[in-house]
Structure 1
Amino acid sequence: MKMKSLAIASILAFLLFANPVAAQDNWSYQRCLDYALSHNLTLQQSVLQKRLQELTLKQNRLSQLPTINAGANAGYRFGRSIDPTTNTFVSQNLFNAGLNMNFDADLFGWFTKQNAIAASKYQVYAANYQLEKARNDMGVNVANAFLQILLAEEQVKISKAQVDLSMAQLDNTKKLVAAGSVPESNQADLEAQLARDSSALVTAQNNSIIRVLTMKALLNLDFAVPFQTELPENIQSVSLLNLAETDPEMVFSAALANQPGYKADEAMVKAANRNLASARGALYPSLSIGGGAGTNYANTNYRQYGAPIPYIDTVGVVNVNGSMYPAVKPGAFRMTELTPFGEQFSNNFGQNVGVTLSIPILNAWQLRGNVERAKIDQQDKLLTLDINRQKLRQDIYTAHADAVGALQKYQAALTTERASQKAYDFATKRFNVGLMNTVEYVTTQTNLFRAQIDRVSALYDYIFKIKLLEFYRDQRISL
């Protein structure tokens, strides 16, 4: 029995008096929220989605500018080929090079690009609303995690107080047993109760650690960083639910005006309408203007230079009175050389400009398929809007019912705790004078412990649910 008591005392000394080596760092709800908004990985993904939509809008806007492309080419040709500088056939190895530039611009396309730009604008609006919704949801998640930590810490405090009380009762009972006033079985019963209370304390402390780890994961905070919550002022004196100010239909009307998720759905419907108009515009003829310029070089292009050089060319013989004389013809020729690179580029430079009318007739049903897909997407976005609107109403009515139920549960828990405290006070007096046995006394003490835990749990459950209802109404949470 003495060894058992010594082991229990050692465990309790470790639990109650051991302090963490690392210094604690106080974290308020607002600090947790600010850190989460800057470091949470899911929010960072939402920021990237917003940037992608902004990039799409930028690309669609720039698509209205003319398309300009430049190119260069060089290569060898072998055997019979066409000289690009003279457009004649040559039968020799040919080296050629060229430069070209082309442009193309839309003149009229039934506002296809303009509608695509408008659709991208609404998609950017939707991305902004989605990011705002993600930030608001993060506020709810952080508030829930923060309240869970506070609840776990309160449970640890209650469990420690219960252990302290059991230790004090055990010490007093040991003295009474030694004096022969009470049987030794009373001491054994209290030692068993102390062991149960110590186990409950370990469970509460472990639960507190898990709640802190959950918060750190939400914040994307290193698990080795010290974390100590900063208790909000007047957290215990939370206001009661005002049914007039939190009527579910009134909250729903406010949510439709303020809820960014619903605004995002509306923006996506407008984007789908514009995408449908853009797809329909592609079914009609389009008018565009285009042009280009280019030049080339070939190593078969020669030029003449210098003054003509006369010469006599014998073309045959003639018979004059039986005598044969050569027949000659005077001529002249000029020296030749490969035309210089720059001169060829200058001589061969050409330009073109023209207008093109494009009439879609048969494109393997691609254009009409795009229209049908845009129609389906439009209907899908409308259904999404209606579904989310219905879900928002359901969530608000559910949150209101939960808040009312949590209030009633909290009030019942308060009543139970008061009654359990009164019963425990009477039991303590009766136990001290020997009018109650240990089992009955321990049962009364356990009932008070459970009532205290239930009251704290009901309190923080009610706080979260009333704050959730206020969040739907105001789109913000404050603790």
Structure 2
Amino acid sequence: MSRLTSKILLLLCLACFSLRGFGQDTALKMLPPVWDLEACLQYAKANNIQLKSLQLNKQSAQQDKLLAKSALLPDLYGSASQSFNHYNMATNGSSDAFNYSGSYGLSSSWTLYKGGYLKTDIKEKDLSVQSANLSILENENDITLQITQAYLNILVDKESIIYNQGLLKTSQAQLDQAQCQFAVGSVARKVVAQFEAQLASDKYNLTTSENAERQDKIALKQLLQLPDAKEFDVVRPDTVISTASITDLNTVQQYALQNRPEVKNAELGVQISDLGLTKAKSGYLPSLTLGAGMGTSYAKDPNYNAFRQFDNNFYQQAGLTLSIPIFTKRQNKTNVAKAKIEIAQSKLTLENTKTTLALTTEKAYINAQNSQNQFSSATEQLKYNQEVYRIANQELKIGAANIVEFYQQRNLYVQAMQQYIQAKYNAALAARIYEFYLGTPIKL
């Protein structure tokens, strides 16, 4: 019987481990293997740990607001005590006595007036909830820009891989042709060696581009906080070239200063500080509290019935308490002074936030302009170098080109292609970041 029980327990354990592994595999399979930018942004907003932490901060601020509202209500406390006494009585012999007693009551207090502190505290806690929500939006904006940058880095790598693969195929074809020419004695061994060296260099460049893509994918997965073992790739759109005209700087700055969450949050900081000063000044004012209570008590006694004692000892009381601050050992004066300092600090924060945002939008504007100009130049440069390289290839095939001149043209083409790819994605990123300050969602 014990042997059968052991087998059953072993099977149950194996089943639990299998189900656990199946659950993990199912969770991984729910994630798509290929992501577009929109999917990356939505996943990050739903799963990013920093955002989740800020959302918990918001929930905590909401609880503080509920607590502040509840301070306007009366409280109610119950109390109960019970005691037992044992003693010996020695009168004409020895005997034991056992007595007990108890008291029970309810008490309540209600703050009727506290110098306006309670209502001001509610307003302050409400602004704190709004501030917590704006902090979430700030973090979402930061994550959006980081993910967009990482996503476009991968697209740059993918395009680099494609053109490096093309160069590798061309080098392999040129090496095959040179080997055939060497076999019939039309070229020297040195020419074949030069093509072999170039092929090895192209393989190295392709491997470097592939490694860069893997590293940039890891960087994006870290931003998304995806499992390490999850298969991951991104969608390569047909085009990411931004041809739209750039909005004037003044329009973007005005919109950003009026609508960006960091500015609104800083403005709320000033309002919260003002309410803090109002709360500090309320410490100079009197407070009025209504108190009430009722209770009863009893004691075991040979001459009295316990239930009659409950009735005879039942009491009720109510009263008002007025508290007037006369000398608080500088507590109120210090609170007011510190509240004024907090107002000055919050105003400096607001001013710094606006200045930083204005400079950031101006920098984004300059980057968008420069990136578009660089992309136009890079496009034109690639066009001419591509044509020269095509001609050099034709001349090499018919033996009319010097190999040194051919490689010079090839290197110029490679350089122009690299600059074109980088300029294209820089222009796309700069334009989208700049329009993001105008409230335009980032899309490829």
Question: TM class by shorter-chain length?
Answer: 0.7 to 0.9
Q: Indicate whether 1:397 and 2:359 are aligned.
A: no
Which position in structure 1 is the counterpart of 2:260?
259
2 CA distance for matches of 1:270 and 1:454?
A: 50
Decide whether the 8 Å contact of 2:35 with 2:232 is kept in 1: yes
Which position in structure 2 is the counterpart of 1:370?
335
The structure in which a higher percent of residues are strand is 1
1 CA distance for matches of 2:325 and 2:99?
A: 42
Report the aligned-residue RMSD: 2.1
- Displacement, 1:94? 6.0
- Displacement, 1:257? 2.4
2 CA distance for matches of 1:276 and 1:78?
A: 59
2 CA distance for matches of 1:438 and 1:346?
A: 118
- Displacement, 1:285? 0.6
- Displacement, 1:24? 8.0
2 CA distance for matches of 1:149 and 1:100?
A: 72
Which of 165, 168, 175 is residue 163 of structure 1 equivalent to? 168
- In structure 2, give the amino acid aligned to 1:239: T
2 CA distance for matches of 1:185 and 1:411?
A: 40
Q: Indicate whether 1:462 and 2:430 are aligned.
A: no
- Displacement, 1:361? 2.1
Q: Which moved more, 1:411-420 or 1:156-165?
A: 411-420
1:81-160 pair list within 5 angstroms: 95-160=100-165
1:189-338 pair list within 5 angstroms: 189-235=194-240, 237-240=241-244, 242-243=245-246, 246-299=247-300, 301-303=301-303
Runs of 4+ in 1 over 6 A off after TM superposition: none
Unaligned stretches of 5+ residues in structure 2? 1-28, 88-96
The structure in which a higher percent of residues are helix is 2
Summarize the Cα distance change of 1:95–1:364 in structure 2 as closer, same or farther, 3 Å threshold: farther
Decide whether the 8 Å contact of 2:61 with 2:125 is kept in 1: yes
- Displacement, 1:436? 3.0
SS of the residue corresponding to residue 290 of structure 1 reads: strand
Which position in structure 2 is the counterpart of 1:59?
67
2 CA distance for matches of 1:193 and 1:464?
A: 33
Deviation sequence 1:143-162 (CA, Å, 0-9, x none) = 11211111111111111111
Which position in structure 2 is the counterpart of 1:453?
418
2 CA distance for matches of 1:379 and 1:346?
A: 62
1 CA distance for matches of 2:221 and 2:326?
A: 61
Which position in structure 1 is the counterpart of 2:395?
430
Which of 331, 339, 357 is residue 305 of structure 2 equivalent to? 339
Which of 394, 403, 406 is residue 441 of structure 1 equivalent to? 406
Deviation sequence 1:161-217 (CA, Å, 0-9, x none) = 111111111111111111111111111111111111111111110110111111111
- In structure 2, give the amino acid aligned to 1:227: F
Decide whether the 8 Å contact of 1:126 with 1:267 is kept in 2: yes
Deviation sequence 1:335-357 (CA, Å, 0-9, x none) = xxx532x3333321111100010
2 CA distance for matches of 1:366 and 1:100?
A: 35
Q: Indicate whether 1:74 and 2:39 are aligned.
A: no
Decide whether the 8 Å contact of 1:24 with 1:228 is kept in 2: no
- In structure 2, give the amino acid aligned to 1:200: N
| Greater C-alpha Rg | 1
Which position in structure 2 is the counterpart of 1:8?
none
Q: Indicate whether 1:379 and 2:383 are aligned.
A: no
Unaligned stretches of 5+ residues in structure 1? 1-21, 80-91, 304-337
Q: Which moved more, 1:69-78 or 1:265-274?
A: 69-78
SS of the residue corresponding to residue 438 of structure 2 reads: helix
1 CA distance for matches of 2:309 and 2:176?
A: 113
Deviation sequence 1:291-336 (CA, Å, 0-9, x none) = 111222223x442xxxxxxxxxxxxxxxxxxxxxxxxxxxxxxxxx
The two structures have a TM-score, normalised by structure 1, of 0.80
2 CA distance for matches of 1:59 and 1:473?
A: 38
SS of the residue corresponding to residue 282 of structure 1 reads: helix
1 CA distance for matches of 2:215 and 2:428?
A: 21
- In structure 2, give the amino acid aligned to 1:228: D
2 CA distance for matches of 1:267 and 1:114?
A: 18
1 CA distance for matches of 2:382 and 2:178?
A: 26
Q: Indicate whether 1:474 and 2:444 are aligned.
A: no
- Displacement, 1:397? 0.5
- In structure 2, give the amino acid aligned to 1:372: A
2 CA distance for matches of 1:458 and 1:77?
A: 92
- In structure 2, give the amino acid aligned to 1:215: L
